[in-house]
Protein backbone atom coordinates (compact mmCIF):
# COMPACT_ATOMS: atom_id res chain seq x y z
CA UNK A 1 0.00 0.00 0.00
CA UNK A 2 2.83 2.41 0.82
CA UNK A 3 4.34 1.63 -2.58
CA UNK A 4 1.08 2.47 -4.37
CA UNK A 5 0.65 5.67 -2.35
CA UNK A 6 4.17 6.70 -3.30
CA UNK A 7 3.43 6.15 -6.99
CA UNK A 8 0.22 8.15 -6.91
CA UNK A 9 1.95 10.99 -5.13
CA UNK A 10 4.47 11.24 -7.95
CA UNK A 11 2.61 11.63 -11.23
CA UNK A 12 5.67 11.21 -13.46
CA UNK A 13 6.64 7.91 -11.89
CA UNK A 14 3.09 6.65 -11.99
CA UNK A 15 2.66 7.53 -15.67
CA UNK A 16 5.89 5.71 -16.58
CA UNK A 17 4.84 2.60 -14.69
CA UNK A 18 1.42 2.77 -16.32
CA UNK A 19 2.95 2.65 -19.81
CA UNK A 20 5.05 -0.35 -18.82
CA UNK A 21 2.09 -2.20 -17.35
CA UNK A 22 -0.26 -1.50 -20.24
CA UNK A 23 2.10 -2.54 -23.00
CA UNK A 24 4.35 -5.04 -21.15
CA UNK A 25 7.25 -3.87 -23.28
CA UNK A 26 10.89 -3.08 -22.70
CA UNK A 27 10.68 0.20 -20.83
CA UNK A 28 14.35 0.89 -20.28
CA UNK A 29 17.08 3.47 -20.23
CA UNK A 30 19.15 3.04 -23.40
CA UNK A 31 21.42 5.31 -25.40
CA UNK A 32 19.73 4.10 -28.59
CA UNK A 33 16.26 2.96 -27.56
CA UNK A 34 15.30 1.69 -31.01
CA UNK A 35 11.99 -0.12 -30.85
CA UNK A 36 11.22 1.15 -27.35
CA UNK A 37 7.78 2.56 -26.74
CA UNK A 38 9.55 5.74 -25.62
CA UNK A 39 11.57 6.03 -28.86
CA UNK A 40 10.31 9.20 -30.54
CA UNK A 41 11.81 7.92 -33.81
CA UNK A 42 8.99 5.43 -34.20
CA UNK A 43 5.32 6.32 -34.77
CA UNK A 44 4.26 4.49 -31.61
CA UNK A 45 7.04 6.06 -29.55
CA UNK A 46 6.31 9.56 -30.84
CA UNK A 47 2.63 9.20 -30.01
CA UNK A 48 3.25 7.86 -26.50
CA UNK A 49 5.92 10.39 -25.53
CA UNK A 50 3.80 13.26 -26.89
CA UNK A 51 0.79 12.00 -24.96
CA UNK A 52 2.86 11.65 -21.80
CA UNK A 53 4.09 15.23 -22.15
CA UNK A 54 0.53 16.50 -22.48
CA UNK A 55 -0.68 14.41 -19.56
CA UNK A 56 2.22 15.02 -17.21
CA UNK A 57 3.53 18.47 -17.99
CA UNK A 58 1.30 20.78 -19.89
CA UNK A 59 -2.31 20.58 -18.82
CA UNK A 60 -4.86 23.00 -20.30
CA UNK A 61 -3.61 26.56 -20.70
CA UNK A 62 -5.06 30.05 -21.04
CA UNK A 63 -3.59 33.28 -22.37
CA UNK A 64 -3.43 36.26 -20.03
CA UNK A 65 -2.47 39.78 -21.10
CA UNK A 66 -0.51 41.82 -18.58
CA UNK A 67 -0.70 45.60 -18.23
CA UNK A 68 0.96 48.27 -16.12
CA UNK A 69 -0.52 49.07 -12.75
CA UNK A 70 -3.31 51.65 -13.03
CA UNK A 71 -2.65 52.72 -9.44
CA UNK A 72 0.14 54.84 -8.01
CA UNK A 73 1.25 52.64 -5.10
CA UNK A 74 3.56 49.63 -5.47
CA UNK A 75 3.61 48.00 -2.04
CA UNK A 76 2.58 44.32 -2.03
CA UNK A 77 0.87 44.82 1.34
CA UNK A 78 -1.47 47.47 -0.07
CA UNK A 79 -5.18 46.68 -0.16
CA UNK A 80 -7.70 46.79 -2.97
CA UNK A 81 -11.47 46.45 -3.30
CA UNK A 82 -13.60 46.62 -6.45
CA UNK A 83 -17.16 47.50 -7.36
CA UNK A 84 -19.20 47.89 -10.55
CA UNK A 85 -21.96 50.38 -11.31
CA UNK A 86 -23.52 50.49 -14.76
CA UNK A 87 -20.57 50.16 -17.16
CA UNK A 88 -17.96 51.60 -14.79
CA UNK A 89 -15.45 49.78 -12.60
CA UNK A 90 -14.56 51.43 -9.28
CA UNK A 91 -11.52 50.60 -7.16
CA UNK A 92 -10.73 51.52 -3.56
CA UNK A 93 -6.96 51.43 -3.16
CA UNK A 94 -5.34 51.62 0.29
CA UNK A 95 -1.74 52.72 0.65
CA UNK A 96 -0.49 50.60 3.56
CA UNK A 97 2.44 52.90 4.33
CA UNK A 98 0.16 55.70 5.57
CA UNK A 99 -3.30 54.07 5.67
CA UNK A 100 -4.79 56.50 3.19
CA UNK A 101 -7.17 55.51 0.42
CA UNK A 102 -8.25 56.85 -2.93
CA UNK A 103 -11.13 55.82 -5.17
CA UNK A 104 -10.49 55.26 -8.87
CA UNK A 105 -12.86 54.71 -11.78
CA UNK A 106 -12.46 53.09 -15.21
CA UNK A 107 -14.58 52.45 -18.27
CA UNK A 108 -12.27 49.84 -19.83
CA UNK A 109 -10.66 48.02 -16.89
CA UNK A 110 -7.09 49.08 -17.69
CA UNK A 111 -7.08 52.89 -17.47
CA UNK A 112 -8.20 54.39 -14.16
CA UNK A 113 -8.72 57.99 -13.02
CA UNK A 114 -8.76 59.26 -9.44
CA UNK A 115 -12.02 60.40 -7.95
CA UNK A 116 -11.93 63.17 -5.37
CA UNK A 117 -9.44 63.29 -2.52
CA UNK A 118 -7.72 60.79 -0.25
CA UNK A 119 -9.43 59.51 2.87
CA UNK A 120 -7.90 58.11 6.05
CA UNK A 121 -8.99 54.48 6.06
CA UNK A 122 -7.26 51.12 5.84
CA UNK A 123 -10.35 48.92 5.52
CA UNK A 124 -11.43 47.60 2.13
CA UNK A 125 -14.01 45.11 3.40
CA UNK A 126 -16.83 47.62 3.00
CA UNK A 127 -16.91 49.46 -0.32
CA UNK A 128 -19.91 50.22 -2.51
CA UNK A 129 -20.67 52.89 -5.06
CA UNK A 130 -24.39 53.67 -4.86
CA UNK A 131 -26.50 56.12 -6.85
CA UNK A 132 -25.63 59.18 -4.75
CA UNK A 133 -23.17 57.86 -2.18
CA UNK A 134 -19.83 56.07 -1.92
CA UNK A 135 -19.79 54.01 1.26
CA UNK A 136 -16.67 52.81 3.08
CA UNK A 137 -16.40 51.10 6.44
CA UNK A 138 -15.96 54.32 8.39
CA UNK A 139 -16.43 57.12 5.84
CA UNK A 140 -18.87 58.11 3.11
CA UNK A 141 -19.06 60.69 0.35
CA UNK A 142 -22.06 62.23 -1.39
CA UNK A 143 -20.02 63.97 -4.10
CA UNK A 144 -17.83 61.28 -5.72
CA UNK A 145 -15.09 61.47 -3.12
CA UNK A 146 -14.73 65.26 -3.15
CA UNK A 147 -15.53 65.41 0.56
CA UNK A 148 -15.44 62.48 2.99
CA UNK A 149 -17.55 62.34 6.14
CA UNK A 150 -16.99 59.97 9.07
CA UNK A 151 -19.66 57.44 10.06
CA UNK A 152 -20.04 54.73 12.67
CA UNK A 153 -17.80 51.86 11.64
CA UNK A 154 -19.58 49.22 9.57
CA UNK A 155 -18.37 45.77 10.59
CA UNK A 156 -18.11 42.81 8.23
CA UNK A 157 -15.71 41.07 5.87
CA UNK A 158 -17.47 41.89 2.59
CA UNK A 159 -20.19 44.13 1.18
CA UNK A 160 -22.25 43.20 -1.90
CA UNK A 161 -24.85 45.36 -3.61
CA UNK A 162 -28.13 43.88 -4.73
CA UNK A 163 -29.20 47.22 -6.24
CA UNK A 164 -27.86 50.75 -6.64
CA UNK A 165 -29.42 51.72 -3.30
CA UNK A 166 -29.15 48.54 -1.18
CA UNK A 167 -26.49 46.05 -0.12
CA UNK A 168 -25.70 43.18 2.20
CA UNK A 169 -22.76 43.04 4.60
CA UNK A 170 -21.53 39.58 5.60
CA UNK A 171 -19.67 39.23 8.87
CA UNK A 172 -18.45 36.68 11.38
CA UNK A 173 -21.77 35.23 12.52
CA UNK A 174 -24.12 37.85 11.07
CA UNK A 175 -25.59 39.36 7.91
CA UNK A 176 -26.78 42.97 7.79
CA UNK A 177 -28.56 44.93 5.08
CA UNK A 178 -28.94 48.56 4.05
CA UNK A 179 -31.67 49.95 1.81
CA UNK A 180 -30.58 53.60 1.98
CA UNK A 181 -27.12 53.45 0.38
CA UNK A 182 -25.29 52.60 3.59
CA UNK A 183 -26.76 55.25 5.87
CA UNK A 184 -28.46 52.67 8.10
CA UNK A 185 -28.25 48.90 8.55
CA UNK A 186 -30.62 46.29 9.95
CA UNK A 187 -29.80 42.76 11.08
CA UNK A 188 -30.91 40.08 8.63
CA UNK A 189 -29.66 37.16 10.72
CA UNK A 190 -27.36 36.54 13.67
CA UNK A 191 -26.79 32.92 12.67
CA UNK A 192 -26.22 32.51 8.93
CA UNK A 193 -26.04 28.98 7.56
CA UNK A 194 -22.38 29.16 6.58
CA UNK A 195 -19.65 28.42 9.19
CA UNK A 196 -18.31 31.45 11.03
CA UNK A 197 -15.33 33.14 9.40
CA UNK A 198 -13.48 36.44 9.55
CA UNK A 199 -12.94 36.74 5.79
CA UNK A 200 -14.33 35.55 2.48
CA UNK A 201 -14.97 36.57 -1.12
CA UNK A 202 -18.45 37.69 -2.11
CA UNK A 203 -20.36 38.65 -5.21
CA UNK A 204 -23.99 39.21 -6.19
CA UNK A 205 -25.61 38.18 -9.46
CA UNK A 206 -29.14 37.39 -10.65
CA UNK A 207 -30.80 37.70 -7.28
CA UNK A 208 -28.23 35.66 -5.35
CA UNK A 209 -25.41 36.39 -2.94
CA UNK A 210 -22.41 34.09 -3.42
CA UNK A 211 -19.81 33.49 -0.70
CA UNK A 212 -16.53 31.73 -1.43
CA UNK A 213 -13.94 30.53 1.05
CA UNK A 214 -12.24 32.57 3.72
CA UNK A 215 -10.58 32.02 7.07
CA UNK A 216 -11.44 31.64 10.72
CA UNK A 217 -9.11 31.48 13.70
CA UNK A 218 -8.42 27.79 13.11
CA UNK A 219 -9.63 26.94 9.58
CA UNK A 220 -9.19 27.78 5.92
CA UNK A 221 -12.35 27.48 3.85
CA UNK A 222 -12.73 26.60 0.17
CA UNK A 223 -16.51 26.20 0.34
CA UNK A 224 -19.15 27.90 -1.81
CA UNK A 225 -22.54 29.18 -0.59
CA UNK A 226 -25.51 31.03 -2.05
CA UNK A 227 -28.51 32.93 -0.69
CA UNK A 228 -31.41 34.88 -2.14
CA UNK A 229 -32.18 36.87 1.01
CA UNK A 230 -29.08 36.81 3.25
CA UNK A 231 -30.97 34.73 5.80
CA UNK A 232 -31.28 31.29 4.21
CA UNK A 233 -28.06 29.82 2.85
CA UNK A 234 -27.43 26.77 0.65
CA UNK A 235 -24.05 25.12 0.30
CA UNK A 236 -23.16 24.57 -3.34
CA UNK A 237 -19.80 22.92 -2.69
CA UNK A 238 -17.91 21.96 0.46
CA UNK A 239 -14.55 22.15 -1.31
CA UNK A 240 -13.91 24.14 -4.46
CA UNK A 241 -10.98 22.48 -6.20
CA UNK A 242 -9.97 21.43 -9.73
CA UNK A 243 -10.71 17.92 -10.91
CA UNK A 244 -8.77 15.69 -13.29
CA UNK A 245 -5.45 16.44 -14.93
CA UNK A 246 -4.19 19.99 -14.55
CA UNK A 247 -0.50 19.67 -15.39
CA UNK A 248 2.59 18.41 -13.59
CA UNK A 249 4.31 21.13 -11.54
CA UNK A 250 2.05 23.78 -13.07
CA UNK A 251 -0.01 26.47 -11.30
CA UNK A 252 -3.17 24.34 -11.32
CA UNK A 253 -1.26 21.60 -9.50
CA UNK A 254 -0.76 24.00 -6.58
CA UNK A 255 -4.19 25.62 -6.57
CA UNK A 256 -5.23 24.18 -3.21
CA UNK A 257 -2.16 25.81 -1.63
CA UNK A 258 -2.53 29.17 -3.35
CA UNK A 259 -4.36 32.18 -2.04
CA UNK A 260 -7.56 33.00 -3.87
CA UNK A 261 -7.20 36.35 -5.60
CA UNK A 262 -10.55 36.69 -7.30
CA UNK A 263 -14.07 35.34 -7.65
CA UNK A 264 -16.62 36.21 -10.32
CA UNK A 265 -19.95 34.92 -11.58
CA UNK A 266 -21.49 35.44 -15.02
CA UNK A 267 -24.54 34.25 -16.92
CA UNK A 268 -22.96 35.41 -20.20
CA UNK A 269 -20.29 32.70 -20.32
CA UNK A 270 -20.44 28.91 -20.64
CA UNK A 271 -18.82 28.52 -17.25
CA UNK A 272 -20.69 30.54 -14.63
CA UNK A 273 -18.23 30.47 -11.74
CA UNK A 274 -14.65 31.74 -12.05
CA UNK A 275 -12.03 31.53 -9.28
CA UNK A 276 -8.46 32.82 -9.71
CA UNK A 277 -5.45 31.83 -7.61
CA UNK A 278 -2.48 34.08 -6.90
CA UNK A 279 -0.51 32.17 -9.56
CA UNK A 280 -3.14 32.89 -12.26
CA UNK A 281 -4.52 29.36 -12.18
CA UNK A 282 -8.18 29.74 -13.16
CA UNK A 283 -10.76 27.19 -12.11
CA UNK A 284 -14.24 27.33 -13.61
CA UNK A 285 -17.54 25.57 -13.11
CA UNK A 286 -20.95 25.44 -14.76
CA UNK A 287 -22.76 24.35 -11.60
CA UNK A 288 -20.41 25.26 -8.73
CA UNK A 289 -19.78 21.58 -8.00
CA UNK A 290 -17.51 20.24 -10.75
CA UNK A 291 -14.46 22.38 -11.53
CA UNK A 292 -11.83 22.42 -14.26
CA UNK A 293 -8.55 24.33 -14.13
CA UNK A 294 -6.50 26.08 -16.79
CA UNK A 295 -2.86 27.08 -16.33
CA UNK A 296 -1.60 30.48 -17.47
CA UNK A 297 0.37 30.14 -20.71
CA UNK A 298 3.09 32.19 -19.01
CA UNK A 299 4.13 30.32 -15.88
CA UNK A 300 5.95 33.16 -14.09
CA UNK A 301 3.02 35.06 -12.56
CA UNK A 302 2.85 35.14 -8.79
CA UNK A 303 1.23 37.68 -6.52
CA UNK A 304 2.75 37.86 -3.07
CA UNK A 305 -0.22 39.61 -1.52
CA UNK A 306 -1.17 38.17 1.86
CA UNK A 307 -4.69 39.59 2.02
CA UNK A 308 -7.99 37.91 1.23
CA UNK A 309 -10.00 40.21 -0.98
CA UNK A 310 -11.73 39.99 -4.31
CA UNK A 311 -9.34 41.53 -6.85
CA UNK A 312 -11.22 40.28 -9.90
CA UNK A 313 -13.93 41.95 -11.95
CA UNK A 314 -15.78 40.94 -15.09
CA UNK A 315 -16.29 43.48 -17.86
CA UNK A 316 -18.48 41.66 -20.34
CA UNK A 317 -16.62 38.41 -20.99
CA UNK A 318 -13.21 39.85 -20.10
CA UNK A 319 -11.93 38.89 -16.65
CA UNK A 320 -9.56 41.35 -14.97
CA UNK A 321 -7.27 40.63 -12.02
CA UNK A 322 -5.47 43.43 -10.20
CA UNK A 323 -2.34 42.99 -8.12
CA UNK A 324 -0.53 45.49 -5.94
CA UNK A 325 2.76 45.93 -7.72
CA UNK A 326 4.25 48.12 -10.42
CA UNK A 327 5.27 45.02 -12.36
CA UNK A 328 3.18 44.35 -15.45
CA UNK A 329 2.60 40.72 -14.53
CA UNK A 330 0.74 41.75 -11.39
CA UNK A 331 -2.19 43.06 -13.44
CA UNK A 332 -3.68 40.88 -16.13
CA UNK A 333 -6.84 40.04 -18.03
CA UNK A 334 -8.14 37.13 -20.05
CA UNK A 335 -11.05 36.72 -22.43
CA UNK A 336 -13.22 33.93 -21.14
CA UNK A 337 -14.73 33.22 -24.56
Domain boundaries, the chain: 2-58, 62-335
pLDDT in the model for residue 130: 98
pLDDT in the model for residue 32: 45
pLDDT in the model for residue 202: 95
pLDDT in the model for residue 253: 74
pLDDT in the model for residue 168: 98
Where on the phi/psi map is residue 214: left (φ > 0), alpha (ψ -120 to 50), or beta? left
pLDDT in the model for residue 18: 46
pLDDT tens per residue across span 157-203: 999 999 999 999 999 999 999 999 999 999 999 999 999 999 999 99
pLDDT in the model for residue 203: 96
pLDDT in the model for residue 220: 85
Q: What angle do CA 100, 106, 110 make, to 5 degrees?
A: 95
Between CA 81 and CA 312 the distance in angstroms is 9
Where on the phi/psi map is residue 181: left (φ > 0), alpha (ψ -120 to 50), or beta? left
Closest by CA position to 187, among listed 195, 196, 178: 178
Does domain 62-335 sit in CATH 2.120.10.80? yes
pLDDT in the model for residue 248: 57
**Main-chain dihedrals φ then ψ at residue 157, nearest 5 degrees:** -100, -10
- Strands, sheet with 331-335, edge to edge from the N-terminal-most edge strand: 65-66, 331-335, 318-322, 312-315
Averages of pLDDT over each 10 residues, the chain, 337 residues? 44 47 45 48 54 56 85 74 94 87 94 94 92 97 96 95 98 97 98 94 95 88 96 96 68 71 93 89 94 78 60 93 63 91
Amino acid sequence: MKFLNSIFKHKLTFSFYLVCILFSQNCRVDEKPNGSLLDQGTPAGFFITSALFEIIRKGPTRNWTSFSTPFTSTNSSDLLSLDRKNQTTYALYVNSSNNTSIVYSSNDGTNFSKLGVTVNTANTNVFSVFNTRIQLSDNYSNNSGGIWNPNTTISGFCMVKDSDTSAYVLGNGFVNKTVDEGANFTLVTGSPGFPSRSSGLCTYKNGKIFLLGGQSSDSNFFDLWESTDGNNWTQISSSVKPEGNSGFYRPCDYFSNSRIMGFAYSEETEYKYHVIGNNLALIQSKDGKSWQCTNPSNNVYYSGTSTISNRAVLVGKRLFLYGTSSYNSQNAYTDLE
